[in-house]
Chain A
Amino acid sequence: MDDWTTLGYLASAVLFILGLKRLSRPRTAVRGNQFGATGMLIAIVVTLTDNAILGFEWIIAGLVLGTAVGAVLAVRVQMTAMPELVALFNGFGGGASVLVAAASYIEAADLATDTPRLSAAAGLAALIGAVTFTGSLIAFGKLRESLKWSGFKGMQVVSVVGVAAAVVFGVLMVADAGNALWIWLMVAVAAVLGVLVVSPIGGADMPVVIALLNSLSGMAAVAAGFVLDNSLLIIAGSLVGASGLILTQIMCVAMNRSLLAVMFSPAPSGAGGPSADDVYAGKVRSTSADDVAMLLEAAERVAIVPGYGLAVAQAQHAVRDLARRLEDRGTQVVFGIHPVAGRMPGHMNVLLAEAEIGYEQLVEMDDINPTFEQTDVTIVLGANDVVNPIARTDPSSPIAGMPILDVDKSGVVVVIKRSLSPGFAGIPNPLFAADNSMMLFGDGREAVVGITKALQQI
């Protein structure tokens, strides 16, 4: 690597840092992303002019194929499907790191240029990268809801054995570095581990998993950087690893669950608490679109709280139309966004942005909670656990202590939902039976369209 290459990599690293910094403000975010892309372009061009590269046919084939597939995926994806696309990209990043580490390890073994450091780093890259790859593919399948499998009994024992095997293969990669078999065994066991770790996790825990896999894809790049002795891979990978970790942490805090609890005791059971019949019997009031329209007509301030159901029903444009109609009448409309609403961090914000709702209208949990008492009508659309007041009141509940949106404090709560079925936590929601609540049963999009129509006729 000559000095020019090193300086080019430095320029890339600086652009990545500036890009991430600009990504933190809506006004500068587009520029930030362009900075990142420019940094990447510089890194690629600088690498291609490096004299370690002798043949270009494989490179060109890979660049063309990767660009085509990546561009098609990025242009065609629906905003509601963003979580699975990001999961897939995470996996590809991890997979690439595995292949890079394997190629370097095999080449070093053939040329007898291996060092303990290279072998150990290659082992780490293979381990982290392969876990990221298969873990992300599982997450992808779960998010598409084409994969329901959540593992088998005694899976955690198998995982522990897998981790032990990975350690053994890692040691063998260093001790017996001339043998390429070890890295493939490492990749195989790590691939199985990725499946085992992610399979049991599902539903509302997905934001944590995606954030964690995002972090791991960065860490895999760091490990590949140690294999190749490449400062840019180390720096860029660390930035991504740190960002994914922060998001993981934010998601865990927003659910009041530790990362270990999410990973190893998934799917909290609703057992022990009051049954759905006790909570709902005779107390649930059902309402109609016309009645909701009357309420909204008289309201001065309306809050809309979306959840994953908004994405499922593809209701973002219908919600936008309702919000605009209300604003035409002089009603103030805000959106209350829980940090873990949806299937990835910021999922709701992207959907509402797609429907051209300005980001000033999207209010974070801590900012909107004090305002619910002054809110005349709150519409809960496809959210459940994040508005369950039991999190505040019942310390024995599986969601005890989870920060929630205090929608029950507003004048009237309209819950749009298909049925009274429980959310991810599997517990009934006393909000649905509260005196100031009413249920509007049905598909989220159709219900909102119905309210908007009824509002037009008033």
Chain B
Amino acid sequence: MDLLIAVTLFVLAVFLGIELITKVPPTLHTPLMSGSNAISGITIVGALVAAGADHSTFTAVLGFAAVTLAMINVVGGFLVTHRMLGMFGPKRRRDTSAQDSKASAAEGAGDR
């Protein structure tokens, strides 16, 4: 890839990222951070190539360590984001599925 094309991609992607993220409400800042963090694990692509290139044992070990770290980042990041987002939700939806009657009573009384 031509260097200038790579730089162009970089600059455009930064602007795109700014446009995308500026609209995220504060409520979602933590999941956004852990989710985007998982995306930064994209280094896994380079790590896989380094680990599988069969160049020397040393570079393969470096690749192995890189794959491990990146994979923790990717799997952990997406999973924990999923776990967190499962807790977010409008109150209505949760009250219908809540097991305790206290919660449903709260909906009736505090309806807004």
Contacts and interface: CB of A to CB of B under 8 A. Distances in A.
Contacts of A37: 38, 78, 82
A234 B13 CA distance: 8
A380 interface: no
B91 A358 contact: yes
Contacts of B103: 324, 356
B59 to A, nearest CB: 4
Contact of A73 (B10, B30, B33, B72): B72
Contacts of A33: 31, 35, 78, 81-82, 85
Q: Helix, strand, loop or mixed for chain A's interface?
A: helix
Contacts of A111: 55
B79 to A, nearest CB: 4
Interface stretch (A51-59, A152-160, A261-269): A51-59
B106 A327 contact: yes
A175 to B, nearest CB: 19
Given A20-B20, A327-B109, A346-B27, A93 B41 contact: yes
Contacts of B44: 40, 43-44, 47, 96
A79 B62 contact: no
Q: Helix, strand, loop or mixed for chain B's interface?
A: helix
Chain B interface size, as a band, is 35 or more
Interface residues of A, number: 126
B29 A55 contact: no
B96 interface: no
Contacts of B37: 86, 89-90, 93, 214, 217, 240
Nearest to A349: B27
A103 B59 contact: yes
Contacts of B34: 82, 85-86, 89
Contacts of A214: 33, 36-37, 40
B35 to A, nearest CB: 5
Contacts of B109: 327-330
B13 A69 contact: no
Contacts of A229: 1, 6
A239 interface: yes
17 contacts: A24-B25, A33-B81, A43-B44, A65-B68, A74-B77, A92-B72, A96-B47, A99-B62, A99-B63, A100-B43, A110-B56, A220-B43, A237-B42, A242-B16, A244-B36, A346-B31, A362-B27
A-B interface, 9 closest residue pairs, ranked by CB to CB distance from nearest: A66-B71, A358-B91, A242-B17, A62-B67, A346-B29, A327-B110, A70-B76, A70-B75, A238-B13
